[in-house]
Amino acid sequence: MSPKSKGPSTRPAADSGPRLSRAERRELRDYGERADWLLRESRRLLKRRGRKLSAAVREEVEGTRASLVSVCEPPPHERNIDSLQRAVNALDDSLARHLARYRKSATREYFEAIFWAVFLALLIRAFVFEAFRIPTGSMIPTLQVHDHLFVNKFIYGLKIPFTRIKFLEFRAPHRGEIIVFEYPYDDDPDSTGKDLIKRVVAVPGDRVRLQNNRLILNGDQVPAQQTQVFGGCGEGGQSVRACDNAPASWCVYAADGEGGERQVLGHFAARGDAQAQSLAMDGYACASYHECLGGIAFTSQIRVPVERGGLWRGQVNDPDWPPPRFEAGRFGPHARRYAPPENGDWPEFVVPEGHLLMMGDNRDNSKDGRFFGLVPYDAVKGKAGFVWFAYKDDFYRPNFDRIGTLVHQDPQAGEDCHP
């Protein structure tokens, strides 16, 4: 309902005569908002229902509306409160007498606003952007565990929601792009129906292989420059940083703990000694490479072994791929096509039409296309966009240095990366 009239008065405009009180300024603002809403509603009603009114009634409604438009012509702070009040009440009364059954109630407006907000959110999620959380460390160092991303679902085409049926296609994924896809098979209860994220290393027609953990594509080794010979893998084991209670010393902290509190596993005077102890506890270290694939520069890493109690632990995946033979207990059934006799191109593999070969940047700790098989186009959901939230190593504090970063950018990699 409209604000109640307080009877006739000769109150001045907001910028002339005596200064308005706070209550009068609030009343002027309320009437201004009500006037804007009534003008929009009356325009809608006259456009949709005006033909059902008699000429006299339509003239009356249009006249009261014109009077309110005239009163609202001055800037809000120059309007006369009494004139505005009379014009608002007149148009409100006219609409109530002649178009009441077509007016929206406050409850209807409320639920319509909720409906359209939900509808728009679902529309955006289905066709434009969708949030995704990194579940594992297979994309380290590019993406960290529990990174939150926005995925561009529009770039490759549009699908019927909740299906893999594409009704509009724009382009196929390119080499080097990081994409989110639905696990395409039903052979793994832990993965079936879940969304995974990996990097496209080969597209249809590509001849691909790994030799000593270096990617060879169509007979040429993918450009790679080693940047770390022996260092941490960033997989959530121990971490090394200045000791909380002794900033001049270096501490090895355990990965577990709540509220950012961690168990101290050792104190060291030098950072190098602390790092060596951390690597020995983890049982492996990592070598890092800056690679260039499809014009996209990124960093990958492989494991190198560390001696631990006389035992050597290191590589999880084979440095050479595809395998010379299929091992049923190790690979998924759809990876059988990589090995002879199904693979007549061994020691290479040729990617067939409509499929992609996916690998993680954490090459030696990634359960990817080498194990579960190729990813068909219809399983692709979208391209990773940017990190909208990230944690520090303790998974407790936000990492503001990484929040807002684009996924397909590595500022440490050279700028001379070309397709």
Name the strands in the sheet holding 296-308, side by side, starting at the edge strand that comes first in the sequence. Answer: 224-231, 284-293, 296-308, 311-313
What's the chain's length in residues? 419
The string of DSSP letters for 340-359 reads TTT-TTTTSEEPPTTEEEEE
Among 209, 200, 208, 207, which residue's Cα sits nearest to residue 175? 200
Q: Mean pLDDT throughout 128-152?
A: 91
In the set 94, 153, 159, 198, the catalytic residue is 198
pLDDT at 371: 92
Q: Which residues pair with 209 in a beta bridge?
A: 216
- At 372, give phi and psi (nearest 5°): -100, -10
pLDDT at 13: 53
User: CB–CB of 377/328 below 8 Å?
Assistant: no
pLDDT at 28: 87
> Residue 206: pLDDT above 90?
yes
Round to whole Å and give the CA distance between 411 and 419: 17
Q: Which residues pair with 267 in a beta bridge?
A: 251
Is residue 47 flagged as an active site residue? no
Least confident of 94-98, 256-260, 339-343, 347-351: 256-260
Higher local confidence (pLDDT), 25 or 283: 25
CA dihedral of residues 325, 326, 328, 330 (deg, nearest 10): 80
pLDDT at 306: 59
| Residue 256, CA distances (Å) to 19, 190, 236, 341 in order | 64, 24, 9, 46
Is residue 138 flagged as an active site residue? yes
Instruction: Sketch out the chain's domains with CATH numbers.
Output: 22-102 (1.20.1270.10), 129-229+286-389 (2.10.109.10)
Q: What angle do CA 4, 5, 6 make, to 5 degrees?
A: 115
Round to whole Å and give the CA distance between 397 and 414: 30
Q: Give the predicted TM-score (pTM) of the model.
A: 0.70
Among 219, 220, 372, 390, which residue's Cα sits nearest to residue 291? 220
In the set 94, 138, 278, 300, the catalytic residue is 138
Round to whole Å and give the CA distance between 193 and 246: 48
**pLDDT tens string 362-401:** 998 898 999 999 999 999 999 999 999 998 876 778 889 8
Q: Mean pLDDT throughout 42-66?
A: 89
The string of DSSP letters for 88-111 reads HHHHHHHHHHHSGGGSPPHHHHHH
